[in-house]
Chains A and B, each alone.
Chain A
Amino acid sequence: MTAQVNLKVNLGGIEMKNPVTVASGTFGGPEYAPYVDLNRLGAVVVKGTTLEPRQGNPTPRIWETPAGILNCIGLMNPGVEVFLHEHLPFYRQYDVPVIVNIAGNTVEEYGLLAEKLNVEGVAGLEVNISCPNVKKGGMAFGTDPAMVREVVAAVRAATPKPVIVKLSPNVTDIVAIAEAAATAGADALSLINTLLGMAIDIRTRRPALGNVMGGLSGPAIKPVAVRCVWQVAQAVDLPIVGMGGIMTAADALEFILAGATAVAVGTANFVNPRATLDIIEGLEAYCREEGITDIKELIGAAWK
């Protein structure tokens, strides 16, 4: 009989039964329930939600690159009211914390969204100040420390729920942004969002994506993401959700060792719809083999 491994972590007030969640925009409960028992996930992070419905960008919205994808979905979503009335009830059938990713056009909109989502069944908010695919707001909020403070303070004032701030890698100094979010009252940080990129279709001789530029995700960005987690974890005393190219338990462990409390699986869901479950099992197996009884021992172990 081997000793039980404790996989539980606490993400800024959100109790997770294991460190594995999903990256916003890459996973839908109804879509993946045939492949994944949602009750087994540490948490579910839902698609970016805005105040009003959004149509998103013209196609093509996705383009494959070496070990990665570029996307320009453009925050297509039915708006917060539809989310509350039609989508949230689905998740409430499950015993899993639901984190809602929010995006506003203005500081006020972020506050309003947080207020509207202060309902039972929402475990916390992930504040997206880093989407590269929308004209207004999005990444613009996430690249200036003063703006970050304003947005995070507005959300903080509007909700008692845990606030996770999602950071963009498209900045010169990610630590400065992380510190701004922490000062303004964030309970946790998630990083990274996609890297701004583009590709050109040599057959049409035009940009490959409908919106010209898009966000790069997948294994191609993992080293950048691990570096960001490593820097931020040492500088800021907040729990981190690490993400960017996590395909396997070994990838997830790199993030945890760099300082992430939890990890989010994004693009990998498209490739292997069971990736989250494989990673949970892999983390447990690694702990067993290494004689680790509590996964929290591994958080930031690469620098501690």
Chain B
Amino acid sequence: MYLEKGKVRAREERGCGYYWLEIESPAVAAAAVPGQFVHVRVGEKESMDPLLRRPISLARIEREKGRIGLLYRVVGRGTKLLSSVCEGAELDLMGPLGRGFTLVEKGKRVAVIGGGIGAAPLFPLVAELVDRGAEVKFFLGAANHSHLQALQPEKMIRGGELVLATDDGSAGFAGRVTDLVRQEIGPFRPDFFYACGPVPMLRAVQQLMAELSVPGELSLEERMGCGVGACLACVCKVRTAEAPFTYRKVCSDGPVFPAGEVLLD
């Protein structure tokens, strides 16, 4: 875990409010694993407003080059400010933070399921799984063709099979990504799955995989303060034997959790 001034080396506006940043951040890149995130200070240097950092997943990890990639969508003030940084600018980063994905052994079949911007942490995961010799099928859903184009999945992964879905049918399978998964999962018979995306998608994936008895992991989001496990703001509910539920910290116990433990309400 480092506090590092990352240098923006490339910036791309990808349409539909999506942006891509390539950042030189050698300490973060060297230590990072897929599923982890950086806590980014947005806005003017030393400005107190907005105050908090913003958590953004590592959408690319290039250890040798000392670079990381961030893919984000403008949804409010912080991400809007982040969208206006220029090439050459310095970004105040904390990371890599959180517990990443558990990587399966060589030869396993895995289903990777992403919805919209939730695909971001799945890109380096797919890359790493392919490198390890896993058989990867990447199910990616988005609202429409333009959103899929903004995510640029073909460019973000090198290997694995990519299957696309759009809610409006403008590209790939017409319907929700979970319906696509349900249709294709039988013949594929994965040993393990990974998912990240909006809560309704995660809930559907969790239920489907439970029916099929496929173990896996979900990557969650929650509003954060510190990002390191100190403030106890970012909790999610997990099952326990003793109580109806217990709280875990998304920033430091997660953001990746075993799918069977998470209670999504």
A-B pairs with beta carbons under 8 Å apart, 6 shown: A26-B226, A32-B228, A34-B1, A56-B235, A64-B52, A71-B231
Distance to closest chain A CB from B36 (angstroms): 14
The docked-state distance in angstroms from the alpha carbon of A100 to that of B1 is: 26
Produce 1/0 per residue, B211-239, CB < 8 A to A: 00000000000111111111111111000
Interface of A (DSSP majority class): loop
Convert A254-298 into 0s and 1s, putting 1 for each residue whose CB lies closer than 8 angstroms to a CB of B: 000000000000010111011000000000000000000000000
Please determine whether A35 and B3 come into contact, CB atoms closer than 8 angstroms. Answer: yes
Asked if B17 is an interface residue, CB under 8 A from chain A, the answer is no
The complex places the Cα of A137 from the Cα of B48 at a distance, in Å, of 33
Having A28-B230, A60-B222, A64-B51, one finds 6 other A-B pairs with CB under 8 Å, namely A31-B226, A63-B223, A67-B49, A69-B225, A218-B51, A247-B48
Q: In angstroms, how far is the closest chain A Cβ from the Cβ of B57?
A: 19
Question: B residues within 8 A CB of A35?
Answer: 1, 3, 94
| A213 at the B interface (CB under 8 A) | no
Check A269/B230 contact, CB under 8 A, given A34-B1, A35-B3: yes
Query: Size range of the interface on B?
Result: 20 to 34
Contact check, A26 vs B222: say whether CB atoms are below 8 A apart: no
Hey, which chain A residues are within 8 Å of B234, CB to CB? Answer: 59, 61-62
- A-facing residues in B2-46 (Cβ within 8 Å): 2-3, 41
* A55 contacts the other chain (CB 8 A): yes
Report if B200 contacts A (CB, 8 A).
no
B84 within 8 A of partner (CB): no
Please tell me if the beta carbons of B229 and A62 are within 8 angstroms of each other in the complex.
no
Determine if A121 is an interface residue (Cβ-Cβ < 8 Å): no
Using known A-B contacts A28-B229, A32-B228, A56-B247, determine if residue A270 contacts B235 with beta carbons closer than 8 Å: no
When the two chains form their complex, are residues B225 and A71 in contact, meaning their CB atoms are under 8 A apart?
A: yes
Q: Taking the complex as formed, is B53 at the interface, i.e. its CB lies under 8 A from any CB of chain A? A: yes
A25 lies within 8 A of chain B by Cβ: yes
Contact of B50 among A34, A64, A273 (CB under 8 A): A64
Q: Cα distance A56–B227 when bound, in Å?
A: 18
In angstroms, how far is the closest chain A Cβ from the Cβ of B265? 10
User: Within 8 Å CB of B53, what residues of A?
Assistant: 270-271
Residues on B with C-beta less than 8 A from A147 are: none
Complex: how many Å from CA A26 to CA B51? 15
User: Which residue on B lies nearest to A33, using beta carbons?
Assistant: B1
User: B170: CB under 8 A from chain A?
Assistant: no
B233/A27 in contact, CB under 8 A: no
Check B225–A273 contact: CB distance below 8 A: no
Q: Does B166 contact A (CB under 8 A)?
A: no
Closest 6 CB pairs of A and B: A62-B233, A28-B230, A31-B230, A34-B1, A67-B48, A31-B228
Whole-angstrom distance between the Cβ of B224 and the nearest chain A Cβ: 7
Whether A73 contacts B231 in the complex (CB less than 8 A), given A62-B224, A273-B3, comes out as: yes
Residues of B with C-beta under 8 A to A68: 51
Is B206 an interface residue when CB atoms closer than 8 A count as contact? no
Instruction: Assess the B227–A270 pair: CB atoms within 8 A.
Output: yes
Q: Does B83 reach chain A (CB closer than 8 Å)?
A: no
Chain A residues within an 8 Å CB radius of B230: 26-28, 31-32, 269-270
